[in-house]
Structure 1
Amino acid sequence: MTTSNPFFEPSELPYGIPPFARIRTEHFRPAFARGMAEQLDEVAAIGACAEPATFENTVEALERSGAVLGRVCRVFFNKVATDTDEEIQAIEVEIAPRLAAHDDALLLDSALFARLDALFERRAQLGCDAEQLRLLERHHTSRVRAGARLAPEQQRRLRELNAAIAARSTEFGQNLRAATAAAALVLDSAEELAGLPADQVAAAAANARALGHEGKFVLNLKNFSQQTELAALDDPALRARLLAASLGRGADTNGPVAVALAALRAERAALLGYPSHAAWEVADRTAGTTDAVEDLLGRLVAPATANAAREGAALAEAAGVPEVGAADWQYYSERVRKERFAVDASVLRPYLELEAVLHDGVFHAAGLVYGITFTARPDLVSYHPDARVWEVHDTDGSPLGLYIGDFHARESKRGGAWMDALVPQSRLLGDKPVVVNNLNVAKPPAGEPVLLTWSEVNTLFHEFGHALHGLFSDVRYPLLSGARVPRDFVEFPSQVNEVWADWPEVLAHYARHHVTGEPMPPELPARLREAETFGAGFRMVEHQAAAVLDWAWHSLADGEAPDADGAAAFEAAALERYGLAVAAIPPRYRTGYFSHVFAGGYAAGYYGYRWAEVLDADTVRWFRENGRTIRESGEIFRRELLSRGNSVDPLDAFRAVVGRDPDLAPLLARHGLDG
């Protein structure tokens, strides 16, 4: 196994795609062990180099280090997310604190930091180009922020905290996976699902068979609060059960874990000289200060809640009741959309078949805007039978990279939608990108079409925006590649890509009835856009509530965390304090299942979706109004921003496209909040 481990040598497959056909679970532990040992040796050699520090023998050498570890990490954590099992989860529990310790060893290595520090002090005399200076600054800043200047005893405690945070984050994620599976609703008859479209009923039956409930129907939970089925299910008791299952998952197991993580992060921030984890995080983000984040969140609360109150009044009138509760909000929203805007979600779905949306929508838009093309590569084996591979070619026909699409839910896959890079682009290493998009669309019985909701269409376009950020990357150094940008900037390109979902030329190309081939009735798109405005208040409030929950947990000073059983009370008090305790609109994520911030990289960063949307809405206005063709605008957006990764300051990249600082007005107008 020592000589045959597929992680020990670079892949010889096209674009360096990992050799999934050869990879087995038993390969991971040896590859992690060798990968960490090799990188520690490489970093030790850099620090011990007898020659004076230069960019090449220090910074560039650091970029070349850790090849084996990078390969195994990218494949392993992709498997954790997409196709896990008990053995993989056991390895994850074991390896997470070891990787945290390894990262500390790299970031806190005193000899390496001394060389980086010396280079940083005389950076103006090094003769480096702008990308090299950016790379040096990023390596130096990351080590200062990680505690490289702390005393040895402080660093010892820092390492303990990082290991504990890694272990608790892994625990949160695994608890959530188990809680989400356990909270799925098992139903005895199709009659209970009255109102749900026939293909979704069939998917629930297929799901039940796959889970060992032959003859029954299973509704799995999505990772957010408001389950999509709530808009269609006629039975109010079932709607209440479904929402209760969604809101309650993880409360008992993950509430104490969230408290522990908040306390650990607050202590670490204090050790690093910051008043809170939020202050530490935002200091290296485009927002810059906690005041800037507080200002954005605060400015949106009043218009969002006022808009939501108007929507709630309309729903109550439609329902003939004084007030509509959380479990019924989406159901009556659909009724209002049908009556007021003549838009029926169930009527839309036959026009939104997955393969048409993907090929004639997402891929077509990418060709229209950027000139790229996609060719299926069934000869390339991916990590799961559902994950398909396409080769991407540039305008001139030259190879650009690989795109992997994995769109279906399964028991071994975590919820949500995301993008990953299995091979990050780098001219230094000669690597072209291999990127992955994941969705969680229910898989229907064999031979049946996959019909999407409008929300799922937008999600696919959104995640593909992340994929383009990775595919168009054209930088020299891996650290600066693709979507490796500040957390409050990373959602910006993906949110811009959503605009093509209902761009007339694109929508007309893919929105065709999956049986008859007839185009979507021409009046539907305009009504759809109008109907989308109704509900903007709800969406803004649920998102703002999640953002302030994250912000409240991570604005705690050291010693301020609640007791282990105090998560629910803390959450309620935070929502009340920010004016977002709206009973009919739960946060998009509650503490017990807020994996973005307790098991992912968004701690004190969930505000970034809204922060990035300011840039997104402004850029969409630029696309619409700059007087250029879509193709010309796409080239500018690609050249000045998508291709640059983190090789330039992200806000400078935005200014290079739009020509000025961002403006909040287009965001307010988008959500109907400008009045």
Structure 2
Amino acid sequence: MTIENPLLSPSSLPYGLPDYTAIRPAHYLPAFREAFARHAAEVAAITSDPAPPTFENTLLPLEESGRLLGDVARTFYTVSSADATPEIQEIEEELAPLMSAHQDAIQLDAALFARVAAIHAQLDALPLSPEQRYLVERHHREMAHAGAALGEDAKAELTALNQRLSTLTTTFEKNLLADTNDLAVVFDTADELEGLTEGELSAAAQAAADRGLEGKWAVTLTLFTGHPYLSSLVRRSSRKRILDASRSRGSRGNDADNRGVLREIVRLRAQRAALLGYESHAAYITSDETAGSPAAVHDLLRRLAVPAARNARNEQAALQAIIDAETEPFPLEAHDWAFYTEKVRAAEYDLDRGALRPWFESERVLRGGVFRAATELYGVTFTERTDIPAYHPDARVFELHNADGSELGLFVLDLYTRDTKRGGAWMNSIVSQSALRGTRPIVVNNLNVPKPAPGRPTLLTLDEVTTLFHEFGHALHGLFATVTYPHFAGTAVFRDFVEFPSQVNEMWIYWPEILASYARHVDTDEPLPAEVVEKLHASEAFNQGFATSEYLAAAWLDQAWHSLGVAEAEAEIDVAAFEAQALAEIGLDNPVVPTRYSSTYFAHVFSGGYSAGYYSYIWSEVLDADTVEWFRENGGLTRANGDRFRQRLLGVGGSKDPLDAYRDFRGRDAEIDPLLKRRGLSD
């Protein structure tokens, strides 16, 4: 008897949201195998067509192909990142090489590439729309970049490399999740957590209870090196325990040690780049980004590193001065930075950011802040759909409508941390918009906010507020992109451009109408006092030496690993020594300012999609800061401004060169001065 697989039939839920209540882990691999077979057959039908290749008989069916595979993959990877139970992790490990092999079989298909190349060769003579022309260009470029022009022996070697890399990156993420959960710091008494709010203590108690440790308190680790609690914990020993645990992930010599995994990833990426004709993985990746080359990336990072390191040293001296005035002074260490930074902030700006949490209740921030800014700018409205089940009980579903009442799509918010969720925050799509396929978008935002005990409000830090606005900027990109072809759907743009819309959306956090709407005290409903708002504005460049340095250090580590040639990558590399040498090379080797991610837990580049591309955040911020200037010069939070930004940038998805889209919006190329001013890096 054949068991019906819900993944192989269209969903009956609105917008095609998968019915996760009917899907079981056992459904995934059979659905993937069927989807692989169907996709292969669809491509074979294209390549076996005896007619000369045309847009209509090659590119159009190519865009129609693989629909089932895309649907199944987005359904599965949503769960594998946000609710990776051991069973789901086993499936992902088995799936990784299968998915890699299938993708290579399509991308490296010589007959398919020959047809695409034939169309590309006569591009100027074909009566194509701008979107169709760009589709031909991108398919040709991406297939060539993937290795479609290689000989058969080289393709076989490439496929083997890709499969092994897919397994290794999955292993890296699995190890990191396991070690992060294992290293949650358990405290026996609440006194050890002096300085935390009642809500934070509640979350720590709940985290301990979830681990079977009733009567204790557990502090779970964030993806990045630091931790929000370091700014308020009074006891140095407690701060040190948390930071030491964070920095030790993936390097403890246990089963979750990632050092050997990342060394092999680096080695195989270098070998693959050489096979494809590039001197390094960084050269390979940046060749198909807006940056164009590692040299352009290195120039920007070096230009910013010198003033950032200088500012960080000045900030360090100010912190040390406070410590020296205490009864028992000591040398400042990394785990002290955030705590004493808040003391300096209080002294210089009379501002205690930790005390702001009662004004940032999560539901108010979401509806009165994030959603309201989108409504004011773009006219979209939000309705929570409690009748539509998501993939986890904590995930909430909202339906969006345009200003004219037309349906736009669904937004899923998954706010809270859990042991089965990977660290950090991200956006992904479950369904992508495409006029060709008649689909509307479903996008997800994931954060990792500690969940308080039942009945307690969720109070966000200012950093968490920023993250919520940031990730919703990605969501808007995914929701607003209006394209014909699925290849261009949502956030399918160059990696070093993708952070731009999300960073722009952060500007509304402090916009007066928006701030007044969401920043209201959870108990009294009083707005955030005007004098506090003024202090927040005055302190915007405060601690930017540290913030910029820790980010640039991580971006440089990414470049250092991925700039290695084959011979260098095949040498036996001591991970800690390599990091130290790389950071010294760019002048960011200050032990009191650790890199935002050390290599063994640098998920962005060793298990995510940012390898040789972590520079993207600062690269995109050049555009972002310049765009913020444009909004301010043109009246700020208005429908006219929102509509222009939506139509000329967010709405084009990947259907246009992103820098051309930016010029269309801005009227010129971006200038770097607004970024330097924002981060306090101007001369």
Identity of aligned residues (%): 51
Residue identity matched to 2:465: V
Output the CA distance in 1 between the equivalents of 2:127 and 2:10.
Answer: 32
Q: CA deviation at 1:126?
A: 2.0
- SS of aligned partner of 1:265: helix
Q: When the two structures are superposed, what TM-score results if normalisation uses the length of structure 2?
A: 0.97
Matches within 5 A, 1:340-351: 340-351=348-359
Q: 2:563 aligns with which of 555, 562, 573?
A: 555
2:160 alignment partner in structure 1: 160
Question: For the structure 1 residues 2 and 558, does the alpha-carbon distance in structure 2 shift closer, same or farther, using more than 3 Å as the test?
Answer: farther
Matches within 5 A, 1:114-263: 114-251=114-251, 252=253, 253-263=257-267
Deviation digits for residues 626-652 of structure 1 (CA, Å, limit 9, x no counterpart): 357622111111000000011010001
2:290 alignment partner in structure 1: 286
Residue identity matched to 1:530: A
Count of matched residue pairs:
675
Matches within 5 A, 1:404-443: 404-443=412-451
Residue identity matched to 2:312: A
Deviation digits for residues 65-94 of structure 1 (CA, Å, limit 9, x no counterpart): 112211111111111111111111111111
Residue identity matched to 1:586: P
Q: CA deviation at 1:529?
A: 2.2
Q: When the two structures are superposed, what TM-score results if normalisation uses the length of structure 1?
A: 0.99
Output the CA distance in 1 between the equivalents of 2:89 and 2:504.
Answer: 35
Question: For the structure 1 residues 301 and 653, does the alpha-carbon distance in structure 2 shift closer, same or farther, using more than 3 Å as the test?
Answer: same
Q: In the alignment, is residue 396 of structure 1 matched against residue 400 of structure 2?
A: no
- SS of aligned partner of 1:561: helix
Matches within 5 A, 1:307-326: 307-320=311-324, 321=329, 323-326=331-334
Q: CA deviation at 1:256?
A: 1.2
1:477 alignment partner in structure 2: 485
Output the CA distance in 1 between the equivalents of 2:308 and 2:637.
Answer: 34
Residue identity matched to 2:680: G
Output the CA distance in 2 between the equivalents of 1:24 and 1:184.
Answer: 30
Residues 165 and 264, structure 1, Cα contact 8 Å, conserved in 2: yes
Q: CA deviation at 1:565?
A: 5.7
Deviation digits for residues 173-223 of structure 1 (CA, Å, limit 9, x no counterpart): 001001101111011111110011111011100111111111110000000
Question: For the structure 1 residues 629 and 525, does the alpha-carbon distance in structure 2 shift closer, same or farther, using more than 3 Å as the test?
Answer: closer
Question: For the structure 1 residues 524 and 133, does the alpha-carbon distance in structure 2 shift closer, same or farther, using more than 3 Å as the test?
Answer: same
Output the CA distance in 2 between the equivalents of 1:248 and 1:472.
Answer: 41
Q: CA deviation at 1:318?
A: 1.4
Output the CA distance in 2 between the equivalents of 1:5 and 1:69.
Answer: 14
Residues 259 and 563, structure 1, Cα contact 8 Å, conserved in 2: no
Q: CA deviation at 1:10?
A: 2.1
Residue identity matched to 1:376: E
Output the CA distance in 1 between the equivalents of 2:629 and 2:97.
Answer: 45
Matches within 5 A, 1:607-622: 607-622=615-630
Residues 180 and 249, structure 2, Cα contact 8 Å, conserved in 1: yes
Q: In the alignment, is residue 641 of structure 1 matched against residue 624 of structure 2?
A: no
Deviation digits for residues 232-285 of structure 1 (CA, Å, limit 9, x no counterpart): 111101111111111111124111111110110000000000010000100100
Range moving further from structure 2, 10-19 or 231-240: 10-19
1:91 alignment partner in structure 2: 91
Residues 348 and 454, structure 1, Cα contact 8 Å, conserved in 2: yes
- SS of aligned partner of 1:532: coil
Deviation digits for residues 405-427 of structure 1 (CA, Å, limit 9, x no counterpart): 00000111111100000001100
Residues 255 and 568, structure 1, Cα contact 8 Å, conserved in 2: no
Deviation digits for residues 540-565 of structure 1 (CA, Å, limit 9, x no counterpart): 00000000000000000112126556
Unaligned runs of 5+ in 2: none
1:274 alignment partner in structure 2: 278
Residues 377 and 637, structure 2, Cα contact 8 Å, conserved in 1: no
Output the CA distance in 1 between the equivalents of 2:586 and 2:41.
Answer: 50
2:74 alignment partner in structure 1: 74
Residue identity matched to 2:8: F
Q: CA deviation at 1:532?
A: 3.0
- SS of aligned partner of 2:443: strand
Deviation digits for residues 135-155 of structure 1 (CA, Å, limit 9, x no counterpart): 111111111011111111111
1:18 alignment partner in structure 2: 18
Residues 376 and 637, structure 2, Cα contact 8 Å, conserved in 1: no
Residue identity matched to 2:261: V
Q: CA deviation at 1:3?
A: 6.2
Matches within 5 A, 1:23-38: 23-38=23-38
- SS of aligned partner of 2:98: helix
Residues 623 and 630, structure 1, Cα contact 8 Å, conserved in 2: no
2:54 alignment partner in structure 1: 54
Residue identity matched to 2:456: E
Residues 256 and 564, structure 1, Cα contact 8 Å, conserved in 2: no
Output the CA distance in 2 between the equivalents of 1:218 and 1:3.
Answer: 43
